[in-house]
Amino acid sequence: MKARTASLLLMAPALLLLAAVFLYPLLRYGWLSFQASSVLTGLEPVPNGGANWGRLLDDARFWTDAFQTLRFAVCSVALELVGGLGLALLLHRPLRGRGTLRALTLLPWALPTTVMALGWRWILNDPHGPLNAAIRSLGGSSYGFLSTPATTWFFVVLADVWKTLPFVALLLLAGLQTIPEDLEEALRLEGAGRLQILRRLTLPLLVPYLALALLFRLAQALGVFDLIQVLSGGGPAGSTESLALYAYLNAMRFLDFGYAATVMLATFLLLLVLLGGGWWLWRRGDLQGRREGAA
Amino acid sequence: MAARPPFSSLRRWRSLPKLLTTALLALLSATVLLVLLPASGLSSSGMSAIPVAAADPVTVRVLMPAPLADAVAAPVAQFNASSPGVVLEVIRGPLDTETISDLATGSLLLGEAPFDLLLVDVSWLARYVAAGWFEPLERWFGPEVLAAMEPGARLGNGLDGHLWRMPLTGDTGLLYWRTDLMERPPRDTEELVAISRDLQRRGRVRWGYLWQGRQYEGLSCVMVEVLHGFGARWWNGSTARTELDSPEAVAAAQWLAALLQDGVSPQAVASYAENDALQSFAAGDAAFLRNWPYAWREIEKGGGPVKGKVGVTAMVGAPGEQGGGTLGTWGLSLIKGSPHPEEAVAAIRWLTGPVVQRQLAIEQGYAPTWSTLYDDPDLQRRAPLLTVQRQALQHPQLRPPTPAYAQLSDLLARQVNGMLTGQGGPGPTMAAAQRQSLQVLRSLAGPAGDTADGRPAVDR
């Protein structure tokens, strides 16, 4: 019992800190989501009987943005995992100048998102950007990449993949280095091919790292804000708007803080359901795998 | 699984020290830059803070979108030359209306705006006034000032019994027509469709009517005109509620949907903003175009196939109804807490005065607000749209003057664009828009949104 009290005491500072930066804002959002707090109330909170939540359920923009956010997260994270794995495998191989290569691959990750998004916006500029200049020099005519929903979406995903691929690769590279080389050696002596080694040895041992990368990246991608705000502003016609951007607009453009809190909280709940569901599925698969392994 | 904790393997990464050094160097240089930049700024402002003379000139700063800032550059220089005690400084803001509003909102929310005057779009006024960011202007500008303006130019400046904005421009939505295809412009919406279909049948033109159907603010401006043209209204100022599900409103939506169904307007209209519609019209694709006054100069400047063959008229309504274009005006407002309001008001007086408006009309095609300018024969010659612009300013339509306008506009444009792309009929579309509008008002205003005692608009 004494040890338990001591451990609680030792954990208290951390718990207090967590409560201050996490629990308090959450409770505050929860409270604010049941208030009208806009220019119509003089920015003072006035209870509005859950009208924010009723509005949310019927808010086409919220649900469109939820779908768009999810689509962005799934596509970009999937590409990052596949690409990151490839990159990690490449960097794991003994190469000349491997250290320099590894440092170079990290560059996009080191760049602040705002700077890199501005860079992409310039590349895609119509008609002055380098991409359009290249198209013109090949005999084509300038294309409004950022005024067409499909191409805008494509480049938002591409920019995100370009930036965060190194992060995923780094995580997976760390995982690869924990795999003892003699295991691979043994498999190779038994006549296993490269693909077989990858499938039977590397990937299974890499699962915790893949899961970690997935979790980090999914949480980040579902809350994407800066990249989209700078690169496309959520446009054209809201086709790349994310939930975080919508929450921001409600507060900063519409001065509607009650609803902004509602959107924020709803986004958090969606994220929780999604990540919780994913974790549950993974656990179930894991347990099943172990049971099968035991049988 | 190896028992090693995940990140210990990083130690094996031999280039890590090198990388760290690089990162450290980068950080260091960034810090040096950050320290140096404000320091250089400080030193220059420190210089000017040294009391050179007893009467330092007062600096009045005004934030404007870049094109307008450029357009008033010469008058601003004139002002500075003729008023020794005041320096008027124009801050060139972003081009996009929404972006400049975001910029202004950001600094106003923080409390101390770095500008004394703001060029305000008519659709922001209610929100900014409700936020308490403006100083009323009636102390300096009495009712006789507005009385010297065209009727439409007086709208969208007052709210709750106060004057918040002095209008600089009097632009409205206009109907463009092809003088080579018809004798005279249509008088109402039925004629517009009849002429279009006749011309299309005879193969004279591909499309009848081009307008803005993309899901954005521009579609809301179209809706204001069509709703009014069918005897409906978007906003009821006395109840502070929307009336989007009235039979007249549904008929208005029905008319727009029919334009696409009958091929009078192309399906592509559902993705058109101002410029898309203008480009297509300027290429000779259509008989009619809905746009703002700037489009005329673009067509005449461009030298395309319809140059010299375009007439402009006020927006039409349904038979028996008075048509009216949406008001899209800019005006100057005084920021609350400006340290030198008297000097700022002097700047407003000059910038919204006849000299500046005259120049804007000649160089940019902006409609003046002062009635005397419309009577000026020289200006009539140099700004050919003047007569039509004056006519349009007799019955212009205001977008709902409520602080909730941005949200109401967003959801109506979303719904109507959905209808245009075949996601629902006019009835359900307008019913959904009305339902969502009331939800937004309730969520914004609390219990007040439930009753009918919201803030009434003084303008109407």
Nearest to B239 by CA among B453, B459, B458, B457: B453
How many Cβ pairs closer than 8 A exist between chain A and B?
139
Q: Which of A:80-139 have CB within 8 Å of B?
A: 98-100, 102-103, 106, 110
Kindly state the average pLDDT of the residues B120-132. 93
The Cα B403–Cα B421 span in angstroms is 29
Q: Given this model, what pLDDT does residue A194 score? A: 84
Q: Given this model, what pLDDT does residue B129 score? A: 94
- Distance, C-alpha B437 to centroid of its chain: 21
Side-chain half-sphere exposure of B301, counting CA atoms within 13 A: 10
Mean residue pLDDT across chain A: 89
Cβ neighbours of B327 (radius 10 Å): 24
Residue of B nearest to A51 (CA): B443
Kindly state the average pLDDT of the residues B53-57. 65
At B310, is the secondary structure helix, strand, or coil?
strand
For residues B397 and B305, the answer to whether their CB atoms sit within 8 Å is no
Q: In the predicted model, is pLDDT for residue B6 greater than 90?
A: no
Nearest to A108 by CA among A168, A182, A18, A183: A168
Instruction: Name the β-bridge partners of B370.
Output: B149
How do the domains of chain B map onto residue ranges?
58-170+328-392, 174-326+400-449
At B76, is the secondary structure helix, strand, or coil?
helix
Q: What residues of B are in contact with residue A102 (Cβ under 8 Å)?
A: 13, 15, 19
The Cα B203–Cα B185 span in angstroms is 19
Q: Given this model, what pLDDT does residue A290 score? A: 65
Q: Given this model, what pLDDT does residue A293 score? A: 59
| Neighbouring residues of A14: CB distance < 8 A, sequence distance ≥ 6 | none
Q: Express each pLDDT in B269-291 by its tens digit.
A: 998 889 889 999 999 999 999 99
CB-based contact (8 Å) between A35 and chain B? Answer: yes
Is B30 or A81 the better-scoring residue by pLDDT? A81
B380 residue type, one letter? Q
When CB atoms are compared, the residue of B9, B10, B18 closest to A99 is B18
Average the pLDDT over each of A49-63, A69-83, B20-34, B110-124 and give the range with the smallest value: B20-34
Q: Given this model, what pLDDT does residue B22 score? A: 53
Q: Do B127 and A59 touch (CB under 8 A)?
A: no
Q: What percent of chain A has pLDDT over 70?
A: 97
Nearest to B299 by CA among B320, B285, B317: B285
Nearest to A175 by CA among A200, A199, A211: A211
Q: Do B449 and A174 touch (CB under 8 A)?
A: no
- Residue in B105, B272, B442, B443 to test binding to A, most A beta-carbons within 10 Å: B443
Q: How far is CA A213 from CA A192, A293, B12, in A?
A: 28, 26, 20
Q: Do A39 and B105 touch (CB under 8 A)?
A: no
Q: Express each pLDDT in B310-349 by its tens digit.
A: 999 999 999 999 999 999 999 999 999 999 999 999 999 9
**φ and ψ at residue A44, rounded to 5 degrees:** -90, 145
Alpha helices in chain A (DSSP H): 2-18, 24-32, 51-57, 60-92, 98-105, 107-110, 113-123, 130-137, 149-178, 181-189, 194-197, 203-222, 226-231, 243-252, 257-294
Task: Kindly provide the ipTM of the predicted complex, given to two decimals.
Answer: 0.78
Q: How far is CA B240 from CA A53, A69, A155, in A?
A: 22, 34, 43
Give A89→chain B minimum CA distance, Å: 15
Interhelix angle for B217-229 vs B405-420, to 10°? 80
The Cα B166–Cα B141 span in angstroms is 9
What length does chain B have?
460
Q: Which of A:266-285 have CB within 8 Å of B?
A: none
- At residue A159 the predicted structure's pLDDT band, cuts being 50, 70 and 90, is very high
Average the pLDDT over each of A182-191, A261-270, B171-180, B399-408 and give the range with the smallest value: A182-191
Q: How far is CA B94 from CA A155, B89, B99, B116, B130, in A?
A: 23, 16, 6, 18, 24
CATH fold, domain B58-170+328-392, is D-Maltodextrin-Binding Protein; domain 2 (3.40.190)
Q: Express each pLDDT in B229-281 by its tens digit.
A: 999 999 998 999 999 999 999 999 999 999 999 999 999 999 888 988 999 99
Residue of A nearest to B10 (CA): A174
CB-based contact (8 Å) between A20 and chain B? Answer: no
- Residue in A38, A118, A125, A212 to test binding to B, most B beta-carbons within 10 Å: A38
Instruction: Name the β-bridge partners of B166.
Output: B332
Q: Given this model, what pLDDT does residue B233 score? A: 94
Residue that the structure tokens 């400047």 belong to: B301
Dihedral (C-alpha) A229, A233, A234, A235: value to the nearest 10 degrees?
-160
Q: Which of B:55-74 have CB within 8 Å of A?
A: none
The Cα A251–Cα A261 span in angstroms is 8
- The bridge status of strand B235-236 relative to strand B241-242 is antiparallel
- The CATH homologous superfamily to which domain B174-326+400-449 belongs is Periplasmic binding protein-like II (3.40.190.10)
Residue of A nearest to B447 (CA): A48
Nearest to B369 by CA among B396, B405, B346, B344: B396
When CB atoms are compared, the residue of A106, A177, A258 closest to B9 is A177
What is the DSSP-derived secondary structure letter of residue B168? S
Q: Given this model, what pLDDT does residue B46 score? A: 37
Q: List the structure tokens of B386.
A: 């003047």
Domain B58-170+328-392 and domain B174-326+400-449, same fold? Reply is yes
Instruction: Name the β-bridge partners of B327.
Output: B172
Kindly state the average pLDDT of the residues A141-159. 89
Q: Express each pLDDT in A208-266 by its tens digit.
A: 899 889 988 988 999 999 999 999 888 777 889 999 999 999 998 889 999 999 999 99
Q: Express each pLDDT in B362-390 by its tens digit.
A: 988 899 999 999 999 999 999 989 999 99
Where is A19: in which H helix or E strand? none
When CB atoms are compared, the residue of B15, B102, B436 closest to A58 is B436
When CB atoms are compared, the residue of A52, A212, A238 closest to B443 is A52
Q: What residues of A are in contact with residue B132 (Cβ under 8 Å)?
A: 42
The Cα B327–Cα B397 span in angstroms is 6
The Cα B222–Cα B199 span in angstroms is 23
